[in-house]
Amino acid sequence: MNRETIRNIMNDEGILPQSKFGQNFLCDETIIKEIVDLCGIKREDRILEIGPGLGSITYPISELTDGLTCVEIDHGLAEYLSANISNAAIVNCDFLKYENCTDPDVIVSNIPYYVMTDIMKKLFGEFSKARKMIFMVEDEAIARIDCGPNTKQYGPLAILCSIYGTYNYEFKVPHTAFIPQPRTTSAVISFVRNDSADILSPDFVRFLNSCFSMRRKMLRKNLAQTSPSEKISEAFIRLGLNENVRAEELNPNDFCGLYNALK
């Protein structure tokens, strides 16, 4: 879909982009093709797209598989897509409330930036069996995704990303690739699952959130809200952790060990 097609659909359907839903529609055909190629879709794959918008990525994916499900919060956009794409399931709801029992193979999203962290946490917690995830994110958000212990940005999101699999920064996307144009530059990133993702679950995400609930406090204080202190002490000794350590000092593997020890 190019700029003209998007403009025509918006005019014909009387659609005005809603900034409260982070609606910036992708209108650069080269970038759309690159994103779809990155998905590496096989015909039998089940694909989950979050926030299909006017269908820039949705249409080309629907040509590759009949297993596409899209979750769109905006009623008007969901209605438009349902009427125009016959071989995809369009679900009209807030993805943060979406419940599903089928595991997708591939997940793709030009993520609404205002809710990026929550969407990614939900994906890694509930849909981590997917073999690949491809996201468009705000370029400046990469600092929260690709960072290690003892940095300001390090927290549950970076840990989940690292545990899920191999991360790759694919390419930058200029603001001119969207209608309307966002203020910031975007980036396409990908994750390929590896076996360490087996530990991921909603409970594991809750555990990480609780570890960082009071960032500057000692980790054992945060853990004491959910686990008995003797169990915490035993786990720290077994894993060789300093009793005064803070969550931001541990690496992703430490969190996996601690989770298993406290379960």
Q: If you ran DSSP here, which 8-state letter would residue 103 be given? A: P
123 binds ligand SAM per the rule CB under 6 A = no
Residue 169 and residue 151: Cα distance in Å, rounded?
19
Pairing of strands 106-110, 132-138: parallel
126 binds ligand SAM per the rule CB under 6 A = no
Helix (H) or strand (E) holding 30: helix 29-39
- Pick the closer one to ligand SAM by CB: 115 or 161: 115
- Pick the closer one to ligand SAM by CB: 147 or 188: 188
- Pick the closer one to ligand SAM by CB: 90 or 147: 90
Amino acid at position 213, single letter: S
Report whether 117 contacts 144 (CB < 8 A): yes
| Interaction pattern, residues 177-216, with ligand SAM; x per rule: CB under 6 A | ----------------------------------------
* Contacting residue, 36, 39, 41, 115, with ligand SAM by CB under 6 A: 115
95 binds ligand SAM per the rule CB under 6 A = yes
- Pick the closer one to ligand SAM by CB: 27 or 247: 27
* Contacting residue, 31, 36, 61, 71, with ligand SAM by CB under 6 A: 71
Taking the CA atoms of 132, 167, 202 and 55 in sequence, report the sign of the dihedral they define: negative
Which residue from 200, 225, 230 is spatially nearest to 214, judged by alpha carbons?
Answer: 225
Q: Which residues contact 15 (CB under 8 A, 6 or more apart)?
A: 9, 54, 76, 77, 80
Segment contacting ligand SAM (CB under 6 A): 37-45, 94-102, 140-148, 255-263? 94-102
Binding footprint of ligand SAM on the chain (CB under 6 A): 21-26, 50-53, 56-57, 71-74, 77, 94-96, 110, 112, 115
